[in-house]
Amino acid sequence: MIHISDLKANIGETPILKGLSLDIEPGTVHAIMGPNAAGKSTLSKVVAGHEDYDVKSGDITLNGESIMELSAEERAQKGIFMSFQYPVAIPGISTAYFVRTAVNAVRTANGEEEMDAVTFLKTARERMKWVGMDKALLNRPLNVGFSGGEKKRNEIFQLAMLEPQFAILDETDSGLDIDALRTVADGVNKMRDPKRSFLVITHYQRLLDYLKPDVVHVLVDGRIVYTGGFELVHTLEEHGYGWAEEQIKNGEPVCPPGAEA
Amino acid sequence: MSQVQDLPIDQDYKYGFETDVEQDIMPPGLDEDVIRNISAKKGEPEWLTEYRLAAYAAWLEMTEPHWAHLKYTPIDYKAISYFAVPKRVVLDSLDDLDPEIKATFDKLGIPLDEQKMLAGVAVDAVFDSVSVATTFRAKLLEQGVIFMSISEAVHEYPEMVKKYLGSVIPVRDNFFAALNAAVFTDGTFVYIPPGTRCPMELSTYFRINARGTGQFERTLIIADKGSYVSYLEGCTAPMRDENQLHAACVELVALEDAVIKYSTVQNWYPGNKDGVGGIYNFVTKRGKCLGNRSKISWTQVETGSAVTWKYPSCLLIGDDSVGEFYSVAVTNNHQQADTGTKMIHLGKNTKSTIVSKGISAGKSTQSYRGLVQINPKATGARNHTQCDSLLIGDLCGAHTFPTVDVRNNDSQVEHEATTSSIGEDQLFYCRQRGLSEEDAVALIVNGFCKDVFRELPMEFAIEATKLLAVTLEGAVG
């Protein structure tokens, strides 16, 4: 589904991604873990089409077609969704109006009928329940005065409304208490589908315990240095990333503690 | 003189066409004879001719004000023609109206056939110097509502016009008001009788067509005791490389318990992308809350004009009277706007609200200028001012010049102001959800203006939203 090959990207003169490759098949959940400043958020923004990043080389394809020349909105219309670590507020525009505008922008771009107000409201109410979001928030301006938890629920609610092919969750767990985390994870799990895949970016094990990713990658210094299964999450929780950084520095093959080289 | 079609015109201004209609235009220039001539052509009574001449004498002694934060080429008052009237003006029946003029208003989306009109909106159509049609007059008169051109009112209701004309904006008020009083050619007159709620929205649509002319209209609205009226004005002009002067006066009088809601959607030609051409919009608008518990509410959406100088104000004379000012001003390219309001509290427990939203894009400059004055006898007065500026890009400017003058110890004045820009992160967020950059800007700007748009009558709020999007096209990226 999503295929990233040898991606190199800078912010200004500073290289952030230094040859990152990643393959994500339909129906799978991938997790990316890594130390601060490894390039996790950069990866998500480059995939979503943020223009502040200077892509030097490499390619990203969605279903075999390169998306590198597409604008952020064209990528979104093709079914790439990113749940923001810091969702923005838009004063004066209700959540309902914003989400319906987004849903219909994507539908129109794909030659589909717009969703009418009645269907929208019915669907929205049902999917807000999936993420435990208070339906009163529909009539409040988007993210204005929302708590950290409400903003994150709102991101996953929008994911549920937009039904993307591929969703990146950028640190969706930050700012969520344990109960909220479980509800949000339940919401994501409801969205799992053989045709849809997820890339979950996180520092912590907790969210992944609920989401049970199929594949876990370790991102260090702009590259995927190791890929394993769900068990890798516990190794990283226990040992951190120091071992990987050390092995790279010594020019050794990257191998987590306890795993066979 | 260059031809309209040869100009590097701004295609986004869809009202920029010119109508070819035979007109009676006075030669440029202004002196006592021109004024006597205007007055004679309109068959005016002696007192009005004298009123005009007195205003002209006052104007000659005044100088054009330059305290506003505006830069523009000086106006040559000798080069302006002060009177332009289509030759075929017939006020008896809409059927006799020059078909070209009728077609013009059709093209502007203002059909003058009563059966085709928006339900519940009566229109007075002003073309250059003269009112060419007023719809639903008879129907309104059944309820005692007088809605006609001010030229006709001078003849039909002379006592009322004489009593109120210049009672809110005195002849010597300011340079442009004095000029208007000397040369005003037409405009709208409205009277709502006691206890009557005007059954439809009243509106005037102003169209400048002739080249080398100025438009000087005068509007007078009187709401008698306990009455209510909602009035809306709209305006457009052809695209030209010359700057045309529009110097209007609007006077509102609200008696006891009366409510006047006055909305403006101002869309004069703003000039092209390089700042060539466009209307100079130098307008004096003022309302007098004369009676106790009366209320005057100004709502304006200012998207057009090359230069705007405009401060719709309220004199809160009656006890417990209320003044409101809701404004959205958008400037793009080289447009300049210096706009705001004055709330003069004179009566006890008077209350005013000011909500001003300024949006600057391109190389435009915009200023909010406001005065809140609480006089010694206005005990228990209250004012709340909210003044927000939104910047798009980094070549535009936004300025705020608020003045608060409180002369008693028993009043409450609040002033809040913010300046923000449309953030890259807001745009990226919207685009990530599938919205184009332009749609994202329109959405964010609409959200910013919401507090003002909700004050507009429904269909005009939709119109205003569209206008905003057109004005800001190409403002980002």
The pLDDT value recorded for residue B276 is: 85
Judge: B435–A82 Cβ closer than 8 Å, yes or no. no
> Among A27-31, A69-73, A151-155, B182-186, which stretch is predicted with the lowest mean pLDDT?
B182-186
Residue B454: C-alpha distances to residues A121, A184, B300, B356, B449 (Å): 22, 35, 12, 13, 9
Taking one residue from A and the other from B, the number of pairs with CB-CB distance under 8 angstroms is 72
**What's the CATH number where A91 sits?**
3.40.50.300
The backbone torsions φ and ψ at residue A242, rounded to the nearest 5 degrees and listed phi first, read -55, -40
pLDDT, mean of residues B47-71: 94
Q: Which residues of A touch B (CB under 8 A)?
A: 48-52, 71-73, 76-77, 81-82, 84, 86-88, 90-93, 98, 101-102, 105-106, 109, 141, 158, 162
> Among A24-33, B109-118, B289-298, B426-435, which stretch is predicted with the lowest mean pLDDT?
B109-118
Which residue, A76, A11, A27, is CA-closest to A47?
Answer: A76
Judge: A105–B423 Cβ closer than 8 Å, yes or no. no
| Distance to chain A for B426, nearest Cα, Å | 6
List the single residue in B423, B436, B446 with the smallest CB-CB distance to A92.
Answer: B446
Q: What is the dihedral of CA B168, B173, B177, B180, to 10 degrees?
A: 80
| Angle of helix A95-109 versus helix B437-453 axis, rounded to 10 | 150
Strand partners, B205: B125, B234
Does a structural domain hold residue A18? Answer: yes
- Reported residue count of chain B is 477
Does a structural domain hold residue A259? Answer: no
**Which tokens hold the place of B1?**
């003189």
Q: Can you say how many angstroms the Cα of residue A161 is from the centroid of all Cα atoms in its chain?
A: 15
**Which tokens hold the place of B138?**
């008879």
| Distance to chain A for B15, nearest Cα, Å | 29
Q: Can you say how many angstroms the Cα of residue B262 is from the centroid of all Cα atoms in its chain?
A: 9
**Given pLDDT bands bounded at 50, 70 and 90, which one contains residue B119?**
low
Helix (H, G, I), strand (E, B) or coil at B283: strand
* Chain A residues whose beta carbon lies within 8 Å of the beta carbon of residue B435: 73, 101-102, 105
The pLDDT value recorded for residue B97 is: 67
List the single residue in A51, A71, A102 with the smallest CB-CB distance to B433.
Answer: A102
pLDDT, mean of residues B69-92: 78
- Quote ipTM for the complex: 0.96
- Cα Dmax for chain A: 62
Helix (H) / strand (E) containing B256: none
Strand A166-170 with A80-83, pairing = parallel
List the single residue in A76, A91, A158 with the smallest CB-CB distance to B431.
Answer: A76
Residue B161: C-alpha distances to residues B35, B132, B136, B310, B443 (Å): 19, 20, 21, 24, 45
Judge: A98–B451 Cβ closer than 8 Å, yes or no. no
DSSP B166-205: TTSS-TTS-HHHHHHHHH--B-EEEEE-TT-B-SSEEEEE
Domain range for A232 is: 2-26+36-244
List the single residue in B424, B426, B449 with the smallest CB-CB distance to A90.
Answer: B426
**Which tokens hold the place of A143?**
């993210």
Asked if pLDDT for residue B345 goes beyond 90, the answer is yes
Does a structural domain hold residue A260? Answer: no
Does a structural domain hold residue A251? Answer: no
> Among A239-243, B206-210, B440-444, which stretch is predicted with the lowest mean pLDDT?
B206-210
Asked if pLDDT for residue B6 goes beyond 50, the answer is no
Judge: B446–A81 Cβ closer than 8 Å, yes or no. no
The pLDDT value recorded for residue B123 is: 76
More confident residue, B286 or B274: B286
Which residue, B320, B215, B217, B327, is CA-closest to B264?
Answer: B327
* Chain A residues whose beta carbon lies within 8 Å of the beta carbon of residue B447: 90-93, 141
The three-state DSSP-derived secondary structure of A203-239 is: CCHHHHHHHCCCEEEEEECCEEEEEECCHHHHHHHHH
Helix (H, G, I), strand (E, B) or coil at B325: strand
Does a structural domain hold residue A250? Answer: no
pLDDT tens track for B234-255: 877 667 677 788 899 999 999 9
Chain A contact probe: residue of B420, B431, B437, B476 with most A CBs at under 10 A: B431
pLDDT, mean of residues B403-426: 92
Does a structural domain hold residue A213? Answer: yes
Residue B4: C-alpha distances to residues A151, B242, B267 (Å): 53, 10, 19
Strand A215-220 with A29-33, pairing = parallel
Task: Report the distance separating Cα A31 and Cα A230, nearest Å.
Answer: 9
Helix (H) / strand (E) containing B9: none
pLDDT tens track for B12-44: 677 777 777 777 778 888 999 999 999 998 899
What is the Cβ-side half-sphere exposure of residue B20, based on CA atoms within 13 angstroms? 2
| Residue type present at position B174 | N
Task: Report the distance separating Cα B207 and Cα B131, nearest Å.
Answer: 10
The pLDDT value recorded for residue A205 is: 86
Judge: A73–B451 Cβ closer than 8 Å, yes or no. no
Name the region of A12 (left: φ>0; alpha: ψ -120 to 50; beta: rest). left
List the single residue in A72, A92, A106 with the smallest CB-CB distance to B450.
Answer: A92
Does a structural domain hold residue A98? Answer: yes
For chain B, the average pLDDT equals 86
| Distance to chain B for A107, nearest Cα, Å | 9
Which residue, B283, B259, B341, B286, is CA-closest to B166?
Answer: B286
Task: Report the distance separating Cα B222 and Cα B297, nearest Å.
Answer: 14
| Distance to chain A for B366, nearest Cα, Å | 22
List the single residue in A73, A81, A84 with the smallest CB-CB distance to B431.
Answer: A73
List the single residue in B431, B436, B446 with the smallest CB-CB distance to A93.
Answer: B446
Question: Which residues touch B138 (CB under 8 Å, ≥6 apart)?
Answer: none
The pLDDT value recorded for residue B4 is: 34
DSSP B299-311: EEEE---SEEEE-
Q: Which residues of B touch A (CB under 8 A)?
A: 423-426, 428-437, 439, 443-444, 446-451
List the single residue in B426, B439, B450 with the smallest CB-CB distance to A88.
Answer: B426
Q: How many CB atoms lie within 10 A of CB B471?
A: 25
The pLDDT value recorded for residue B130 is: 67
* Chain B residues whose beta carbon lies within 8 Å of the beta carbon of residue A51: 428
Task: Report the distance separating Cα B456 and Cα B451, nearest Å.
Answer: 10
Q: What is the dihedral of CA B377, B380, B381, B384, to 10 degrees?
A: 160
Question: Which residues touch B412 (CB under 8 Å, ≥6 apart)?
Answer: B381, B382, B383
Q: How many CB atoms lie within 10 A of CB A109?
A: 15
Helix (H, G, I), strand (E, B) or coil at B137: helix
Helices (H) and strands (E) in chain A, counts: 9, 12
Chain B contact probe: residue of A53, A75, A93 with most B CBs at under 10 A: A93
The pLDDT value recorded for residue B272 is: 83
The pLDDT value recorded for residue B424 is: 85
Q: What is the dihedral of CA B184, B188, B192, B197, to 10 degrees?
A: -150
Task: Report the distance separating Cα A237 and Cα B455, nearest Å.
Answer: 56
User: Which residue on chain A is closest to B451 by alpha carbon?
Assistant: A92
Which residue, B69, B72, B67, B66, is CA-closest to B367?
Answer: B69
The pLDDT value recorded for residue B122 is: 75
The pLDDT value recorded for residue B463 is: 76
The pLDDT value recorded for residue B380 is: 96
> Are B387 and B356 a contacting pair, CB within 8 Å?
yes
Question: Which residues touch B430 (CB under 8 Å, ≥6 apart)?
Answer: A90, A102, B439, B440, B443, B444
Which residue, B433, B434, B428, B429, is CA-closest to B477?
Answer: B428
Exposure string over B201-210, b if 16+ CB within 10 A, otherwise e? bbbbbbbbbb
Does a structural domain hold residue A257? Answer: no
Judge: A72–B425 Cβ closer than 8 Å, yes or no. no
**Which tokens hold the place of B150?**
């001010």
The pTM score is 0.83
Q: Is the dihedral of CA B265, B268, B269, B274 positive or negative?
A: negative
* Chain A residues whose beta carbon lies within 8 Å of the beta carbon of residue B388: none
pLDDT tens track for A93-129: 999 999 999 999 999 999 999 999 999 999 999 999 9
Residue A57: C-alpha distances to residues A8, A37, A54, A199 (Å): 5, 20, 9, 22
DSSP B96-122: GS-HHHHHHHHHTT---SGGGSPTTEE
DSSP label at residue A86:
S
Judge: A105–B439 Cβ closer than 8 Å, yes or no. yes
User: Which residue on chain B is closest to A48 by alpha carbon?
Assistant: B432
Count of structural domains within chain A: 1
